[in-house]
Structure 1
Amino acid sequence: MKKVVLITGGSSGIGKAIAIYLQQAGYTVYGTSRNPDRYPDSPVPLVAMDVQDEASISTAVSTIIEKEKTIDILINNAGVGITGPMEETPIEEVKNAMETNFYGPLRVLQAVLPIMRQQRSGRVINITSIAGYMGLPYRGIYSASKGALGIATEAYRMECAHLNIHFSNVAPGDFATNIAAGRFHSPFKEGSDYAAGYSHTLKLIDDHVDDGSDPIEVAKKIKEIIEMKNPGIHYKVGSFLQKFSIVLKKILPEKRYERMLKKHYGL
């Protein structure tokens, strides 16, 4: 029987690339979108889901279970970008990012884990970010939300191991997607002490995305992980320098690593 995959945020970007790749590989794939009607030509079936709305999550999961009787693989991919100085980012936008990037996956897991526990099998892959391994300037909220999800995954993994439910994190670097179009940017404040650093960093972030690799690389890694007998905990997908930055954080003195980041961002 084909394995059934649920991937949140499957209408665009990395999520869409993963969904199409797994479908072409023979999996039964369902993506989600808050507004599936906007994507009538989606090559992958989309069910309505807002990861901030428990009722919508429950309805979406029930719809898939009714059709397929199971969900074998959950990929928590839905997320939002956010940039801005820590001090000047509106708290409501901070809450929105955390509600989507951290609490959202937890809500989906509360809806999906019961069926996985019942069948005593399942795979969960949480899409985090290389940015979640460090507090990046003017991306601190995004880093915090993805870092929190990565740590939570470690706990889920240990708690669910005896149920034959395997958890892993996949942390992408910069890939060529439309993430910038939906990202919240804290407004520039005239006379702000952060204006110069924020402006320079924002341009650098967007340039990295524009020059990013094809998200199919993430999709290939996802397929590799879900087909492993015993998958690991953390996987990184990105350029050598992006992945090496995580290694450097482990081995360099803290202040030296901080100076390296500041130099990279021109601060």
Structure 2
Amino acid sequence: MAKIVLITGGSSGIGKAIGEYLQTRGYKVYGTSRNPKNYKSSFALLPLDVTSSESIQNCVTQLLDIEKTIDVLINNAGVGITGPIEETPISEIKNAFSTNLYGPIEMTNAVLPAMRKQGYGHIINVTSIAGYMGLPYRGVYSATKAALEITTEAYRMELKQFNVKMTNVAPGDFATNIAAGRYHAPIAQDSPYKEAYGNTLKTMDAHVDAGKDPTKMAEVIFKILQNPNPKVRYKVGAFIQKFSIVLKAILPSKMYEAMLMKHYEL
């Protein structure tokens, strides 16, 4: 019997690639979108706004009414955000945390009663390599993903007694449309950050454009789902991006900071 997978944000990018790949491997996939009618998909899309408690409950209830079970939840929906922290509106910071942290927590809590009842389940949180370091002009995004990483560590230990697994998967830069949908704090003409922020934005967008095929993420997630004892976290991306995490652990903090600033031409 095919396992039932629910992927938040499954209408495009990494989420869509994961859904299409898992579907070819025998899983029955349901993705989500705020407006499913706006997308063509090879698997079913359910309406979901991860910033709305009501929408989350409706989505999970709808899927359980159809399938009676949820075997896998992949918390993939997220929002990008850039800008000098000083000049980023608090409303946008709150929205980023609502989407990237509170949404996955609420989605997890919504599926846990069903997973506990059936005696198993697997929840995968898509975080980011950016969550391992405070990146200039991406500080809010880094913070949301770092918070999800740490939350997952605690969740894992709490859920072991119910035979519910939880895993972090941290991607680096992938060739998706995330840059187009990212919130950019406006570059004010009189901003003291104008030149440095503008240069960093160009660097970030170039990294995404040169990113890996998102199918790589799908392949890793498939292997994780096949593993009876998955690790706490996995990193997926270019070698230099994954190695940057190792460097942070071994280099003096000021040296690592200088390396990042040079990378972003600051």
Matched ranges for 1:118-133 at <5 A: 118-133=117-132
Cα displacement (A) at 1:189: 1.2
Matched ranges for 1:144-163 at <5 A: 144-163=143-162
TM-score by length of 1: 0.99
- Alignment of 1:238 with 2:237, yes or no, is yes
Deviations 1:118-168 (A, max 9, x none): 111000100000000000000000000000000000000000011111111
- 2: distance between equivalents of 1:96 and 1:259? 30
Matched ranges for 1:241-256 at <5 A: 241-256=240-255
Name the structure 1 match of 2:135.
136
Cα displacement (A) at 1:181: 1.0
For 1:119, the aligned partner's letter is Q
- Alignment of 1:5 with 2:5, yes or no, is yes
- 1: distance between equivalents of 2:228 and 2:154? 20
Name the structure 2 match of 1:183.
182
Cα displacement (A) at 1:191: 2.1
Name the structure 2 match of 1:223.
222
Name the structure 1 match of 2:262.
263
- 2: distance between equivalents of 1:54 and 1:95? 15
Cα displacement (A) at 1:83: 0.3
Output the aligned Cα RMSD: 0.6
Secondary structure of the residue that 2:222 maps to in structure 1? helix
Secondary structure of the residue that 2:87 maps to in structure 1? coil
Cα displacement (A) at 1:190: 1.5
Secondary structure of the residue that 1:247 maps to in structure 2? helix
Divergent runs of 4+, >4 A: none
Name the structure 1 match of 2:69.
70
Name the structure 1 match of 2:196.
197
Name the structure 1 match of 2:31.
31
Name the structure 2 match of 1:99.
98
For 1:179, the aligned partner's letter is I
Name the structure 2 match of 1:16.
16
Task: Count residues in correspondence.
Answer: 266
Secondary structure of the residue that 2:85 maps to in structure 1? coil
Cα displacement (A) at 1:224: 0.4
Secondary structure of the residue that 1:126 maps to in structure 2? strand
Cα displacement (A) at 1:213: 0.7
- 2: distance between equivalents of 1:236 and 1:181? 24
Deviations 1:189-222 (A, max 9, x none): 1221111110010000000000011000000000
- 2: distance between equivalents of 1:157 and 1:2? 25
- 2: distance between equivalents of 1:129 and 1:153? 13
Secondary structure of the residue that 1:123 maps to in structure 2? strand
Q: Structure 1: which 5+ residue stretches go unaligned?
A: none
For 1:21, the aligned partner's letter is Y
For 2:188, the aligned partner's letter is K
TM-score by length of 2: 0.99
Secondary structure of the residue that 1:87 maps to in structure 2? helix
Deviations 1:66-85 (A, max 9, x none): 11110000000000000000
Matched ranges for 1:52-63 at <5 A: 52-63=51-62
